[in-house]
Amino acid sequence: MSAPNKSYDPVEVEALKPEEIERMRDEALAAFAAAADLQQLQEAKTAHTGGSSPLALANREIGALPPQAKADAGKRVGQARAAVGRALAARQGELEAERDARVLVEEAVDVTLPYDRTPSGARHPLTTFMERVADVFVAMGYEIAEGPEAEAEWFNFDALNFTPDHPARQMQDTFFVRGPQGAGDDESASGVVLRTHTSPVQARALLGRELPVYVVCPGRVYRTDELDATHTPVFHQIELLAVDEGLTMADLKGTLDHMVQSLFGAGMKTRLRPNYFPFTEPSAEMDMLCYVCKGASVGNPDRPCRTCASEGWIELGGCGMVNPRVLVACGVDPGRYSGFAFGFGIERMLMFRHNIEDMRDMVEGDVRFTRPFGMEI
Ligand code: DAH
């Protein structure tokens, strides 16, 4: 045992008095509380917990005390240092949280900002899809044929066997182009209409080409419909015409099947239902197998299909063998040549192909609609 420390002089250990220790502790706590950022807290930490801080120096003095005083002082200093350590950790936590929150605000990346000042556009899906359909036929040797959108009534109706009083003229809600000023009130006086279908290109192709004729005619057409979810007064059709020696309805059917297989995949097929068009005889309505359920939803309530409303088939458009009257009107000998034709709307096909529910999305020109289709060429 060591002898009592005779040289103990309370004056020399002033630093270990309870008030002194409390003061050191409180100064440390005040300094931490006053630290406005992590840098200042680091400075306060060095000053109040570092090797030459008042509490560290006081701690070093304990050794010089007599045993009882040593225990008391040790406890006081220990408690004070522990309190300082806790306060430091707490303030450190607060300041770090503040910094993190500030960084999140100040350094936030606005992901909605345009990343590109000259963003690349996207071609409209109607354009790309129409080209894709036309390509199926170009690959088979067909040529692309075009005609005017403001079309002579003769091409739009007469050449196609719609006689002037033919009730079928009313089948299509025609925009008539007004004649020149002074030509009277009769809007049809100009003899020009906005074409109601792409079929007039059939007559133009027959008149302008050598036989045989194999053409595909994509284009814009017009009808007096209000714009709503399923109608638009301006829409697109694609028309096909083949006139050659010996063509039959089997050629038409094979061509349709090939088209739907090219566009919708292997195993696809079409079916024909009798119908009437003045320019084809016989005429048919053409359906394609539903490319989603492939007919499996029919009569099967456990497997309903939204795409075809569980009908198994999707209506595409009209088709048939070119009416001999059309051939005659276009100077083609129906005794030697026969032909087949079909036509359908592009918007409708695009809608069910991409689950587009509202036709207006296709005409409003919002890039948010076109962009997801990408830069498909
Ligand atoms: N032109 C018709 C329409 O717009 C569609 C059509 C039917 C086109 C039969 C054809 C065809 O080529 O053969 O309603």
What pLDDT shows up at residue 367? 82
Extract the runs of DSSP E, i.e. beta strands, from 98-250: 143-144, 150-152, 175-176, 192-194, 213-222, 234-244
Please list every protein residue whose CB sits less than 6 Å from any atom of ligand 1: 197, 199, 239, 277, 280, 317-320, 341-343
Return the residue whose CA atom lies nearest to atom 3 of ligand 1: 197
**Counting atoms of ligand 1 from 1, which one is nearest the CA of 240?**
12
What pLDDT shows up at residue 186? 59
User: What angle in degrees, to the nearest 10, is found between the helix axes of 125-138 and 346-353?
Assistant: 100
Which CATH superfamily, name and number, covers 125-373?
Answer: Bira Bifunctional Protein; Domain 2 (3.30.930.10)
Q: Is 160 exposed, middle or buried (0-12, 13-18, 19+ CB in 10 A)?
A: buried
Question: pLDDT means per 10 residues in the chain (377 residues)?
Answer: 52 72 92 93 93 89 83 88 93 94 88 76 88 96 98 95 76 79 60 94 98 98 92 96 98 98 94 96 97 93 92 96 98 98 95 89 86 72
What residue spans define the domains of the chain? 12-106, 125-373
Mutate to test the pocket of ligand 1, among 142, 342, 346 (most ligand atoms within 8 A of CB): 342
What pLDDT shows up at residue 5? 53
Do the bridges between strand 338-345 and strand 234-244 make them parallel or antiparallel, or are there none, so unpaired?
antiparallel
**Counting atoms of ligand 1 from 1, which one is nearest the CA of 342?**
12
Cα(252) to ligand 1 centroid in Å equals 14
pTM, two decimal places: 0.68
151 annotated to a ligand binding site: no
Mutate to test the pocket of ligand 1, among 142, 169, 272, 279 (most ligand atoms within 8 A of CB): 279
What pLDDT shows up at residue 152? 95
Q: Helix (H, G, I), strand (E, B), or coil: what is residue 236?
A: strand
Alpha carbon 214 to its chain's center? 36
